[in-house]
Structure 1
């Protein structure tokens, strides 16, 4: 696999996992975060989920579920930190 294709596939994977992670978190619990932050959270979630799935010898479905779960937790944490203690009505 050459480098441009690898970079594009990593960014697409991060975007998809990040969007799925955002979809799991209820709308009233998440602060608005940008597209770049979504991709970064997705990349981190994909990497951490892959590490966990590899350690338990999981298949592709378990890997995807773990990646999305980790990304959802990260979206929730980033949103909580980004809200700065503001109350949402």
Structure 2
């Protein structure tokens, strides 16, 4: 991965995180900062995965790379949301 690929992955990481969050149904329990962190991680991992699969450096727009990044961001947001929802304090029901 070249420096320009790394910089572009970081730059679009925020957008990828937000898009990943938008594809999930319902309300998420994570904040915007965690969404951005997951998006950046998904963008970097997605770029690496696209490079390994041979679709990361194509002519024109790398639609497959973006799709991989968005899917990874959605999975990352869902996993983090599920992990944080389990640690959330819920009021006890009185019986």
TM-score, normalised by the number of residues in structure 2: 0.72
Greater C-alpha radius of gyration: 2
SS at match of 1:72: helix
1:1-89 to 2 correspondences below 5 Å: 6=7, 10=10, 12-28=11-27, 31-58=28-55, 59=58, 60-84=62-86
- CA RMSD after TM alignment: 2.2
Q: Which aligned segments of 4 or more residues in structure 1 are displaced greater than 6 angstroms?
A: none
Instruction: Choose between structure 1 and 2: higher helix proportion.
Output: 1
Give the unaligned 5+ runs of structure 1.
1-5
Aligned residues: 78
Q: CA deviation at 1:32?
A: 2.1
- State the distance in 2 between where 1:47 and 1:55 align: 12
